[in-house]
Structure 1
Amino acid sequence: MKNHSVSLLIASTLVFAASCAPAAKTQAPAAATAQTIKVTEIASGLGFPWGAAILPDGSILVTERDGRLRVIRDGKLVEAPITGVPAVLNDGQGGLFDVALHPDFATNGLVYLSFAKGTKSSNHTAVVRGKFDGKALTNVEPVFDAVPERETQAHFGGRLLFMPDKTLIVTLGDGYKYRDKAQDLSSDLGKIVRITDTGAPAPGNPFEGQSGKRPEIYSYGHRNVQGIARDPVSGTLYAHEHGPKGGDEVNVIQPGKNYGWPVITYGVDYSGAPISMENKRDGMEQPLVYWVPSIAPSSMVFYTGSLFPQWKGDLLVTALAGQQIRRIDLENGTVKAQETLLTEREERYRAIIQAPDGSLIALTDDPEGKVLRLSPN
């Protein structure tokens, strides 16, 4: 592993609110003064790192899409992968996705993994959990298996987030060619689900006890949700999803709400053909932010730290095609401005999490992927 630091002066970029908040018609105020950021490479050579979680001792668990779980300990990438990880479908967009620690990890040692499970012709998004002893996962058991099976290797979703009540949010995709299933409440495709830590549908879910509707569903009408974050003060839950050609969205997630895909969208098909002639409809939620053209958002964190005081209370979104981290400046839930960060590095960013000290850990999407720490210079 090679460690080095580089200081970058990040220029803020104003974005017209008409391109990010559909109801607004005026230019957003200027973003906060450009922040000097120190970027420290703490690990490299990972195969398409996808998710990360920080252990109580400061070590970092990192997933590699091809199915390995790695640990960075004492500032160094441990060469041997963690054993006990289940077999994954490493094909197309499939593979090993996110990693999350149980809220009581300090006492129970439970680690949760999401991944693509099955074969090319029959697969789904799955979640397992196992006890981590520092080198291996043991007593690995299934937690969640999305239904129905699909025969595509795209749009799995896969982000994990524990809520304060210890229920688990799992984000899912529509399976690409199954996009109409995003409106079908008998299917998990194109949904965000909420389950208990053992995998049962969480009590109080909006469709609990309703015939023909899956009780784990929390919200629906999504395309491919790969970002999930929560404001710990207000309790607001945010999610973002990939649009088609244009129309990436950040949404405020509320139980039982319909987020419109594919009935309404601000994007078009990859061929340029329309998917829908509508971008608004009664009974379907409007995004907080949407992007045309797409930036391909890939993860998101709600910043609560003090190292970057100007960012406190903002969303930080990683982007693949956009090769950036996008800061969404929020004030009382309203988008005030956007700022584009780290474009100078010309790297695809797959994930971002906040460390206990307020620094940020970012993963680059590459066959020789990096783990970066972002801190003030």
Structure 2
Amino acid sequence: MKNHGLILIASICFGLTSCSPDVADNANPPTGSTGSAAVETNPANSTYRPAFSGQTRIAGVSTTTPFTSSVVTESLRSPWGITNLPDGRLLITEKAGSMRLATPAGQLSGPITGIPAVNPAGQGGLLGVRVDPAFSTNRMIYWVFSEARPDGNVTAVAKGTLSPDETRIEGATVIYRALPAYSGIAHYGGRLVIDPAGNLLVSTGERSDLVTRPQAQSINSGLGKIIRINKDGTASSGNPLATTAGALPEVYSLGLRNPQGLAFHPVTGELWESEHGPRGGDEINRIQPGANYGWPIITYGIEYSGTRVGEGIQQREGLEQPVYYWDPVISPSGMTFYTSNRIPEWQNNLFIGSLSGMHLVRLVIANNRVVGEERLLAGEGQRFRDVTQGIDGALYAITDGGRLYRIDRR
């Protein structure tokens, strides 16, 4: 990519508002902001300090309503994305390239065919999925996948219709590719949501390696972004950089590392995102159009080697702070806001699948700040990849180990 594409969205010359102290492995972490014990008890990877109270290690909370969790099937194969059909069934993607239908009781269909070939190597495969709001009449499905091309791999978006007998996808078409292609097999991002106006919002990763990492800051690259497109793959009208010289018109926000979770807040309608940090620095962000979330210029994580990322700074004017971050990492993936009245204390809480942390995160949010954290299903020994609220009001979570969980009031 050309150097003129590298920008800090507000200005390249903003001054520092805060510098970090030296990195120190196993440093004492910040404590919960209310004085109550945080759920994280392991030492942080650095001595980096949060930008505001409650940005990390918030006080722990515990659900008081009796609830139950059950494994309704263990027969999925590396599931990655889950979403609802209007009739209450669930549509689930499997990393190697299949989709499956599941009932809330765990009855699975056979693999759905007709899906373009995916590259399942590394972190790639068949990823996020959503059905069209008018699925009952048009049977249209949208999904994200890693596509192998002669010049490398890309995060791609496709669409197609589910056949009447529900065994295959018909008319599958790739509608968008996050360019440039790259030969690496990591950090595809891959989540997809549909806003009330019918636009597709898709998360793309910066492809991990040092050579591609700076493209998260480039407005003429599709890497490390939230992109906003129409259902035919063209840029949606009103995107924030549509009139900016040299910018890709589909870019909605930038400065992201490996965003694997997207969800709309049920009250404000704003888009929220979860993102993998390196060693420390997993984030929850409130996505604003045109905003720059800082990677790799600012981060609360360090390199896997233990050295600083870039200049080792966590704040810079013009770059957005995460609403919340974790150090050490939990590897946050798919997520959903809970809107059911079945467990009233969970209403408008954010639930996030944790991979390396092997639990389901519950974040209590008030005025766009996290005010409590709970770890659910932590004893299951499962990497939780995605979670959704079903039509019936229960939560359904999938794990890399092939399980589908149903979580509901007892």
Regarding TM over 0.5, the answer is: yes
**What is the aligned residue count?**
363
- The alignment status of 1:259 with 2:293, answered yes or no, reads yes
Label 1:175 to 1:358 Cα distance change in 2 as closer, same or farther (>3 A).
same
Matching residue within 242, 247, 250 for 2:284: 250
The residue identity in structure 2 corresponding to 1:263 is I
- Distance in 2, matches of 1:341 and 1:75, equals 21
Deviation at 1:71, TM superposition (A): 1.2
Matching residue within 192, 205, 208 for 1:176: 208
Provide the residue aligned with 1:69 in structure 2: 99
Deviation at 1:99, TM superposition (A): 1.3
Deviations along 1:55-112, whole A, 9 cap, x unmatched?
1122211111011111124735445211111100010111110110011111111001
The residue identity in structure 2 corresponding to 1:150 is Y
Q: Report if the CA contact (8 A) 2:104-2:406 is conserved.
A: no
Deviation at 1:346, TM superposition (A): 1.6
The answer to which of 31-40 and 173-182 deviates more is: 31-40
Deviations along 1:166-220, whole A, 9 cap, x unmatched?
1010001000011111001110110010001111101000110322100000000
- Give the TM-score taking structure 1 as reference length: 0.91
Label 1:306 to 1:205 Cα distance change in 2 as closer, same or farther (>3 A).
same
Deviations along 1:239-281, whole A, 9 cap, x unmatched?
0100000000001100000000000000000111111321000
- Distance in 1, matches of 2:264 and 2:218, equals 26
Between the aligned residues of both structures, percent identity stands at: 39
- Distance in 2, matches of 1:326 and 1:28, equals 13
Find the residue that maps to 1:159 and give its secondary structure. strand
Provide the residue aligned with 1:196 in structure 2: 230
Q: Report if the CA contact (8 A) 1:322-1:348 is conserved.
A: yes
The answer to which of 52-61 and 310-319 deviates more is: 52-61
Q: Report if the CA contact (8 A) 1:258-1:285 is conserved.
A: yes
Provide the residue aligned with 2:112 in structure 1: 82
- The alignment status of 1:147 with 2:179, answered yes or no, reads yes
Q: Which runs of 5+ in 2 are unaligned?
A: 1-35, 41-46
Label 1:120 to 1:291 Cα distance change in 2 as closer, same or farther (>3 A).
farther
Label 1:38 to 1:13 Cα distance change in 2 as closer, same or farther (>3 A).
farther
Provide the residue aligned with 2:358 in structure 1: 323
Label 1:184 to 1:115 Cα distance change in 2 as closer, same or farther (>3 A).
same
- Give the TM-score taking structure 2 as reference length: 0.84
Q: Report if the CA contact (8 A) 1:21-1:287 is conserved.
A: no
Label 1:118 to 1:183 Cα distance change in 2 as closer, same or farther (>3 A).
same
- The alignment status of 1:187 with 2:221, answered yes or no, reads yes
Provide the residue aligned with 1:349 in structure 2: 384
Q: Report if the CA contact (8 A) 2:54-2:370 is conserved.
A: no
Deviation at 1:15, TM superposition (A): 4.7
Provide the residue aligned with 2:11 in structure 1: none
- Distance in 2, matches of 1:297 and 1:54, equals 21
Label 1:198 to 1:21 Cα distance change in 2 as closer, same or farther (>3 A).
farther
Deviation at 1:30, TM superposition (A): 5.5
Label 1:62 to 1:120 Cα distance change in 2 as closer, same or farther (>3 A).
farther
Query: In the TM superposition, what are the counterparts of 1:155-174 in structure 2 within 5 Å?
Result: 155-174=187-206
- Distance in 1, matches of 2:258 and 2:358, equals 19
Q: Which runs of 5+ in 1 are unaligned?
A: 1-11
The residue identity in structure 1 corresponding to 2:291 is K
- Distance in 2, matches of 1:121 and 1:45, equals 36
